[in-house]
Structure 1
Amino acid sequence: MSQAMEEGSATNSSSEAVSSEIHGVDLVSKLPTREGWPGPPLVLYKNYWLRPLYVATIMGLQNSGFKPRHDDIILATNPKCGTTWTKALIFAINNRFRYEFGSHPLLFRHPQELVPSIETPRDGNISYIEKLPSPRVLGTHMPPSLFPKSMVSDGFRVVYMCREPKDVFVSLWHFQKEIFKDNTTSLEAVFSMFSEGFSTFGPFWDHCLEYWRESIASPEKVLFLKYEDMISEPVKYVIRLAMFLGVPFSTKEEEDGIPEEVVRLCSFEKLSNLDANQTGEFTLSGNRVLKKSAFFRKGKVGDWVNHMSEEMGRKLDCIVEEKLKGSGLVF
């Protein structure tokens, strides 16, 4: 894609060299760690804080044989930025010629199942993704600088969804507590860490900036979206998404209200009340389980005011504004 992604590839090549130099010693165990969020300590890998499992998987992708296809669609997000909703929207848009709305897979299967993540494939086996028919829709939380070198390509398209950071923080705190069954870690305790850039796939602002710059350098390949804009005008952005993905709605489709049908099918109210998304569990690493319903908490814009003080909100606003200064990206 752009020079930034090519630089990411060079960095990845360097990590492979380092890995070979230590002759089998677990590289992940050598990385800086920090505790504080629910769950095991995060590790610092190429300027991002990650769960150790993600680091190992991302390293493994270098030699896994994973090959992007020219018609792949990659949905990239920082965690808790409307990922599940956007997966549903892109899946529905891209597959609208294959399924009737009344018997659509989204009515019976969780969006996280229909759109697998590159770094957390089903049963930890990347071969599952390789067998998916084209055009594939895949998710990732990786910033471009962590992409495996095989993904430095001019072929696939990337949709990046970001979200107002205060809402991201609150949603992430709730989600991490749910994953790790943690009822003791306070919001105040992790707020200071998030404000320092310490969170899963953080710093949050660095993640956003990488994709923001990619979208400016290659607007035909990277579409940068904001959750709040999508929520306020979903039909407008569904039409825009379809155009970007190369499957624009025809005049007849628009006259027949197909974009509105996609929005209704994928609405938070619709998805969150489906049995497929309310019952059952996902099995995570370490034999931990996560309720499927955990991916549907509120989805509200501005919910942070119910959990954070105005002073905390102002503090985070100032930090983010300073970190993004001069980039043209604002929240």
Structure 2
Amino acid sequence: MTSSYVPIYLGDEDLTQETRDLLSSLPSEKGWLVSQIYQFEGSWHTQGLVQGILNCQKNFKANDSDIILATTPKSGTTWLKALLFALIHRDKFPVSSKHPLLATNPHPLVPYLEADYRVSPDVDFSELPSPRLMQTHLQHHSLPVSIKNSSCKIVYCCRNPKDMFVSLWHFGKKLAPQEIADYPIEKSYWYESRKNPNKVLFVTYEELKKQTEVEVKRIANFIGCGFTAEKEVSEIVKLCSFESLSKLEVNRQGKLPNGIESNSYFRKGEIGGWRDTLSESLAEVIDRTTEEKFRGSGLKFSC
């Protein structure tokens, strides 16, 4: 039975027989937001998201011009959605008082692939303007084959595990105060970015915070919409900043179509904010685990 706070795409209603059969064969544990979560292709998911992933893998057809934003939950997804939307559509929507981001939360502006396919296996993205911008929380090896075989671009944002864990914990408390869980951090996008840098761009939340304009220009060049004027860069950075977005009425009040309160996506957005929540001993456990998992990869986290 799902919590009343849980968005529809995480729920366990209306599962297909194919999904139920698959779930019966998967490892499961007590869940976060829902009663059970299941290990599918190396990650833990709710029953509903397993069905969404299956539908997405079967039905999504990537275009060569597509741009896919991939993140681990609570690793800067909202910020990156805003930045990429503003970058891609800056000719159509120059920074002004009428910009869509001033009246709409970033999440409805950028489709969430496996969640949309959870709601409907026949979801149609053909009407999205080109280049189509879409977001996913899937690991690289779980992406639809058409994404990996096409020439579409993937922007992946990674965040310090301790800050990600704390941000996810606070987000979970808002949705279902009695239940929390952790998410795995994986390295496949890091390896793919090194093997195929023209296909996958690896961004860290920390570098994006420390040198935002530099990183935004790097992202813009990667997705094929580089800047010709420095003023444009600073305008988009200001429009999409945590400070600007979090103060907008649309992000402070009401709920999104998925049922989640808009302000749930805006907490602090800080680097090193984990220090206010984690004990030193737990932080050390996370550091040791991270070091063990990432050993030999060349990927390191500060703070």
Confirm or deny a common fold (TM above 0.5): yes
Q: Does 1:63 align with 2:63?
A: no
State whether structure 2 residue 127 is matched by structure 1 residue 120: no
Query: 1: distance between equivalents of 2:79 and 2:132?
Result: 17
Matched residue of 2:202: which SS?
strand
* 2:161 alignment counterpart: 165
Q: How does 1:1-331 map to 2 (within 5 A)?
A: 26-35=21-30, 37-64=32-59, 66-102=60-96, 103-121=98-116, 124-125=119-120, 127-180=123-176, 182=177, 184-185=178-179, 194=182, 199=183, 203-204=184-185, 207=186, 209-250=187-228, 253-254=229-230, 257-284=231-258, 289-331=259-301
- Relative to its length, the structure with more helix (as a share) is 1
Unpaired runs of 5+ in structure 2?
1-16
Distance 1:24 1:142, change over 3 A: closer
Cα deviation, residue 319, structure 1: 1.0
Q: Cα deviation per residue 1:89-112 (whole Å; 9 max; x = unaligned)?
A: 011111111113111111111100
Q: CA deviation at 1:26?
A: 2.9
Task: Give yes or no for contact 2:220–2:227 (8 Å, CA) kept in 1.
Answer: yes
**SS in structure 2 of the partner of residue 282 of structure 1:** coil
* Structure 1 residues 115 and 24: alpha-carbon distance in aligned structure 2, compared to 1, 3 A threshold: closer
Kindly state the Cα deviation for residue 37 of structure 1 after the two structures are TM-superposed: 3.3
CA distance in 2, matches of 1:216, 1:156: 17
CA drift of 1:135 comes to 0.6
How far residue 127 of structure 1 moved from its aligned partner, in angstroms, is 2.7
Contact 2:108 2:256 in 1 (8 A): no
TM-score by length of 1: 0.81
How far apart are the structure 2 equivalents of 1:79 and 1:136? Answer: 21
| Distance 1:302-1:120 versus aligned 2 partners, 3 A rule | same
Which SS does the other structure have where 2:68 is aligned?
strand
Q: Which position in structure 2 is the counterpart of 1:3? A: none
Kindly indicate whether the alpha-carbon contact (under 8 Å) linking 1:76 and 1:159 is maintained by their aligned counterparts in 2: yes
CA distance in 2, matches of 1:37, 1:81: 18
The answer for unaligned runs of 5 or more in structure 1 is 1-21
What is the aligned-residue identity percentage?
A: 40
